[in-house]
Amino acid sequence: MKLLTPPENIDCWQLPIPDAEIFYYPNFYEQVKANALFKKLYEETQWQEDDITIFGKTYKQPRLTALYGNNEKAYKYSNIIMFPKKFTETLLELKNDVEKVSPEKFTSVLLNLYRDGSDSNGWHSDNEKELGNLPFIASLSFGAKRSFQLKHITVASQRFKIELANGSLILMGGETQKNYKHQLPKTKRPLTQRINLTFRTIY
């Protein structure tokens, strides 16, 4: 797996990987602001712990989640249906900031809270039909730095990872969700909590 490291002092970096359009902003928020946002999001979010069913067995999802949006449309994945709560002021502020650099506007945000290194998010593409034909996703990270991995769906040798820093933003567009799966693996390193927000359009 190839580690991708952004050049120093860069605002926005396109990941050098084939068949994907991914842009990384290592310092979308400066550290003091990012820390304050972590605390706010941690406290304000109505976190839920869902069960997932895989091959007939039920497990606790290895993270806490929440869905907020400006429409009523439910989001279904891995046998879970989530119904959105109304955007909070904090979430609207973040959506507005992200939309300044994103070519797309968003209806919804899915939040993930990884409580420690044993919380994770397994291999998947964000390709549910309600996200449209070419899903565009903007992903903000706060708190502990975690490794985000990508693997090409048909070319096994194309595997990449990037460390997502506190206050960073990553945009995934074009055919990224068609050609790649991504994951946030468990790690044995002792880690503090991380909050991730993925802004999406749910049609």
According to DSSP, residue 32 is labeled H
Q: Does 17 bind ligand AKG (CB under 6 A)?
A: no
| Residues 6 or more apart in contact with residue 51 via CB below 8 angstroms | 58, 59, 60, 61, 80
Length reported for the chain:
203
- In the chain, the amino acid numbered 86 is K
Nearer to ligand AKG, 48 or 198 (CB): 198
Report whether 172 contacts 104 (CB < 8 A): no
User: Contacts with ligand AKG: how many residues (CB under 6 A)?
Assistant: 11
We find the least distance from the C-beta atom of residue 121 to Fe ion, in angstroms, to be 7
Q: Among ligand AKG, Fe ion, none, what binds residue 201 when CB lies within 5 to 8 Å by partner kind?
A: none
**Footprint of Fe ion on 117-136 (CB under 5 A):** 126
| Residues 6 or more apart in contact with residue 188 via CB below 8 angstroms | 117
Which of 126, 142, 162, 180 touches ligand AKG (CB under 6 A)? 126
Q: Does 119 bind ligand AKG (CB under 6 A)?
A: no
Interface positions with ligand AKG (CB under 6 A): 110, 112, 121, 126, 139, 148, 164, 182, 184, 196, 198
